[in-house]
A and B are shown apart, each in its own frame.
Chain A
Amino acid sequence: MPSLGTSYGRGAATLAQWDLAKSDCVVIMGSNMAENHPIAFRFVMQAKAKGAAVVHADPRFTRTSALADIYAPVRAGSDIAFLGGIIRYLLENDAWFRDYALAYTNLSTIIRDDFQGPEDLDGVFSGFEPDMKAYFVDSWQYEGMAVPSPRSEHHPQTEMDFTACAGRMSEKPPHRDPTLRHPQCVYQIMRRHYARYTPEMVERVTGCRKETFLKICETLARNSGRERTSAFCYAVGWTHHSTGVQIIRAAAIIQALLGNVGRPGGGILALRGHSSIQGSTDIPTLYNMLPGYLAQPNVNKSHGSLDDYLKGETPPTGWWHNEPKYVISLLKAWYGDRATAANDYGFDWVPKIIGDHSQLPMTLAIRDNVIKGMFLLGQNPAIGGSNSRLVQRGLAELDWLVVRDFAETETAAFWYQGCPVRDGELAPSDIKTEVFLMPASIAGEKDGTFTNTHRLVQWHDKVVDGPGDSRSELWFIHHLAKRLKALYADSRDARDRPIQALNWPYPEVDARGEPDVEAVLKEINGYTCGDETPVGTFKDLKDDGSTACGCWIYSGVYPKEGHNQARSRKADGPGGPGTHLGWAFAWPANRRTLYNRASADLDGKPWSEEKTLVWWDADKESWQSPDAIDFEPSKAPGYQPDWNQKPEGMDALDGGSPFIMTADGKAALFVPSGLKDAPLPTHYEPIESPVLNPLYAQQSVPTAKRWNREDNPYHAPEDAQYPHILTTYRLTEHHSGGTPTRSVPSTAELQPEGFCEIPPELAARHGLRTGDWVVLETSRGAVETRALVTSRLRPFEIDGRAVFQIGMPWHFGWRGYATGDVANVLTSIVGDANTTMHENKALTCRLRPGRLSGGRR
């Protein structure tokens, strides 16, 4: 989540779900929370019962809309126009929280004078290189200094020596103008940038009536400030766009301007779909990161040696200055005694990436025969992967494929049931792929921890064995590791050193040979080398090889031998503080509300009694709170760095800098580095859109990752062949690639068959009624499904033209009890510049009544 990461310092939800009950206004956008996160939605309803306003903005009228006080229909893919309109409203009406934003954000900071925005450059920012479709971010920096990003990618593309210029952050504070009159201060830049996002423009771009839009602006502003706080909730309705990161950025700007971050009932809650999806970014099975948001070594950066890597990745100021401790402790956890100062702690053994190795390019690399062998561990890309036909066709190019799941997935069955086989393009006898389908255990059948959507690491017990040969993924990896270590034991080849050196000490605890999960958790937590005592916090980690730690942000989850905090189940009783510090473990350091120092003013006094969370106790000379404090516990509010000493790390952040992970301690309204597409959110049309961008000549985001090829073509803007917007979504009874719900009788019964939602006005044009068959088609493929004619989807008038939206749940497939065509047959492989996230929430398609001649896809 680079959006929250670059804005506030950490890519994670800022508040606990239960804290929503304390909100005065909850804005839900990019999410159908009542449907998809129903238990969390209870807290929204609790807030509403206490008088809070609930706002929902969405392309579809859903169960969430039905329970909202204000519903705003917005065209899929127009969110930044809407949110940019809110930013303009707040700035032009002076409706932002002045004392908070001036103190805790970079609103008054001066940006270099050669910075220019889309106002001046017809839709792009300064530094754009059209040939590379990428930005040089020199001109986005603070005046006189380069600003390293708190994300794992500290090496932005620049002409200057970035690391050297970033060093100046230790010499003086950034140049600020508290009067906000300087033309290059962030405030003035934002006012110019958002000037054109007027209510009239919002209506023109999003289709939402300006009266509704203004009512939302007023409601949000009225419910923010000293006495009140508002929260934003979003989900994949924001992330699945070519501009997804920037949509969330826009919300981050609004919340920081309104002073809603780090305070009770305020913040941004990312609602995530899978049980441990937050955990799988913290301890990433992702190509570009090492555990704890450390950068994967990259051949395109100065990562030639450990020294260079640490120099390039360690910012001079802010908490991340501690990075070397975390990197070296990780290498010690991975390579144990074999990691020594003499061999750079095995740094060279960590593979270097050479480009984008995420799921979308991976799909193409499978199809293009670069990837030969593949493991699928609980994922079903034949359903969930964009451009499903291409995914399925690609699988036939693999030499071998291991699928581990609890039931046979569509992906595992590709070689006899996939599109290429049903279309007659391939027969099983043409497909060389050797396929293993292995039964997997699920929660209840294995010990382990999930990290939920608000960073809460919760342990689940093994109660029963999985059926037959079902095993945990940990069992699989453990026994594969043992076999591979044996196979490579005698090698003298340097390239085989990493697998030989890999530290693999996990004891087996039962007759099936399941490894001891707590031993792994302890390694994740960290320990001192030699006596193997767990570290209590990440403050105990060292950069001299004397500590090992698998993921520094999880330190404290297993703070003492035999103390598994993730398994702790002590909730606060009624009348308790409600932070529930005894219930499981929240990273980092059990903090429930991130940046909670911001709940107090510059003097350390809570902004209001009603919204008290953290305060400075002058007598005790320390911060007090019912939460774990996200700040140095005894740094006085009045502390000022001594710039003559060239302060580093936390010494360089003053007592009024709650965003300790950023280099200047402030929330970044304007992001100088860490993002590849813009320092300020800007509305671009989706890659496929039925309209031209009403705001700029630049139609879609110029930095998007595109793979335009024969088997992955895109529709041009305003393409008359594909006139309608298609958006995809999920339902309460659906999960993940569909297998865990379509193969389970009760959930399958509740959602028995695929369908698509069609507005009545469009249905009338085609003479369609609910239950009729329709064919949806894009240049990637076609599907047939039943029509559900409903005014929950309404036509939009965009720039004077009627635009229709069609919605299709994407979790159906051909296996299990509940079947339906695969929506992802329609989607394309195209990605956000920062995350390579696909754009399956807004694309274009055409519709006709009837069925496919060749049967289902």
Chain B
Amino acid sequence: MSRDRRTPFNRVGEFLNQWSVPRQMRGADHRTDAARSRMSETLRPRLEDADRVGTSICPYCAVGCAQLVYARDGRAIHVEGDPRSPINEGTLCPKGSATIGWMNAPDRLSKVLHRAPYSDRWEEKPLDWAMDRIAHLTRQTRDETFVEALPGGETVNHTLGLASLGGATLDNEENYAIKKLFGGGLGMVWIENQARV
């Protein structure tokens, strides 16, 4: 590493030259040249490195603010309000602005955790194993609890042994599939979500 040969005097001069405030005090336009400093010279646009952008909708409340999600190397790097939206016109509230924090939350799960009956711990399991096991349990519980007709003879074709809760935060297509499989396919009637109003 070469030694810095500048004298303290030189350095102060350099600093004053680069510092934007004296220039602004001399009356230069603070929105253009006079805002320049060594730091600002090295600043890069926040989204310069993004290799992808998609239009999204805020995952929090039902106002439905539109968002732009920017990503680099398969990871979201920035989420902002979509300026074209007639709802939010580019703005977001503290929750909507936290969307990137939700996507990249430190506590996010990335593996299936399984807790066996009577166990005192979680264990990581492969996704496929969990899907097989859940399918098996679903069938078993359905078969044990399915009722084709009430004692009076009325056809019901349902099971009261299985339940599903959730949906108000999910996509319409997901809710559709849930009701179709669980209701239309398995005969479940305990199907509910947060929207009981």
Contact = CB atoms under 8 A, between A and B. Distances in A.
Interface string A733-745: 1011000110111
A205 to B, nearest CB: 24
Interface in A373-391: 373-379, 381, 384
B1 interface: no
Interface string B54-96: 1111111111111101110011100100101111100111111
B60 A465 contact: no
B194 to A, nearest CB: 6
B170 A371 contact: no
B114 to A, nearest CB: 6
Interface string B146-182: 1010100011111111111111111111111111111
Contacts of A381: 165
B59 A379 contact: no
B112 interface: yes
A106 B40 CA distance: 68
Interface of B: 52-67, 69-71, 74-76, 79, 82, 84-88, 91-99, 101-103, 105-120, 122, 127, 130-139, 141, 144-146, 148, 150, 154-197
B175 A276 contact: yes
Interface stretch (A93-101, A212-220, A359-367, A779-787): A359-367
A291 interface: yes
A736 B108 contact: no
Contact of A282 (B94, B164, B171, B172): B172
Q: Is the interface of A mostly helix, strand, loop or mixed?
A: mixed
Nearest to B83: A571
Shortest 5 CB-CB contacts between residues of A and residues of B: A468-B110, A452-B64, A448-B171, A285-B167, A461-B54
A281 B144 CA distance: 30
A156 interface: no
26 contacts: A236-B197, A274-B61, A276-B167, A276-B172, A280-B172, A299-B154, A351-B187, A357-B191, A359-B192, A366-B163, A371-B162, A373-B162, A402-B134, A408-B107, A429-B120, A433-B117, A439-B112, A450-B62, A452-B63, A453-B63, A463-B54, A464-B71, A473-B178, A483-B135, A517-B171, A550-B176
Contacts of A290: 179, 183
Interface in A397-420: 399-400, 402, 404-408, 415-416
Given A304-B154, A498-B184, A276 B171 contact: yes
Contact of A453 (B62, B71, B131, B166): B62
B102 A406 contact: yes
By CB atoms of chain A within 10 A, which of B67, B82, B156, B175 has the most? Answer: B175
Nearest to B103: A444
Given A436-B114, A443-B59, A274 B169 contact: yes
Interface of B is mostly: mixed
Contact of A350 (B82, B88, B93, B184): B184
Given A39-B65, A429-B120, A583-B85, A275 B57 contact: yes
A741 B107 CA distance: 12
Contacts of A443: 56-59, 99
A487 interface: yes
Interface string A149-162: 00000000000000
Contacts of A746: 94, 97-98, 101
Contact of B139 (A442, A464, A488): A488
A370 B160 CA distance: 7
B196 A836 contact: yes
A372 B114 CA distance: 17
A439 B97 contact: no
Nearest to A478: B177
Interface string A428-443: 1111111111110011
A462 interface: yes
A470 interface: yes
B24 to A, nearest CB: 32
Contacts of B157: 348-352, 495, 498
A192 interface: no
Given A350-B157, A443-B59, 10 more contacts: A274-B61, A276-B171, A276-B172, A357-B189, A370-B161, A469-B111, A472-B174, A580-B86, A747-B95, A837-B197
Contacts of A473: 170-171, 174, 177-178
A740 B98 CA distance: 9
Contact of A276 (B62, B105, B135, B191): B62
A436 B75 contact: no
B118 A745 contact: no
Nearest to A333: B180
A431 B122 contact: no
B181 A481 contact: yes
Contacts of A350: 157, 183-184
A295 interface: no
Contact of A465 (B74, B160, B183): B74
Given A442-B102, A735-B95, A463 B71 contact: yes
B87 A17 contact: yes
A276 B168 contact: yes
B138 A406 contact: no
Given A357-B192, A477-B174, A745-B106, A736 B92 contact: no
Nearest to B157: A351
Interface string A131-172: 000000000000000000000000000000000000000000
A670 B178 CA distance: 36
Contacts of B82: 569
A480 interface: yes
A799 interface: no
Nearest to A479: B131
B63 A40 contact: yes
B173 A287 contact: no
Contacts of B138: 373, 480, 484
Contacts of A474: 171, 173-174, 177
Given A444-B99, A477-B177, A437 B109 contact: yes
A554 interface: yes
A282 B168 CA distance: 11
A426 to B, nearest CB: 11
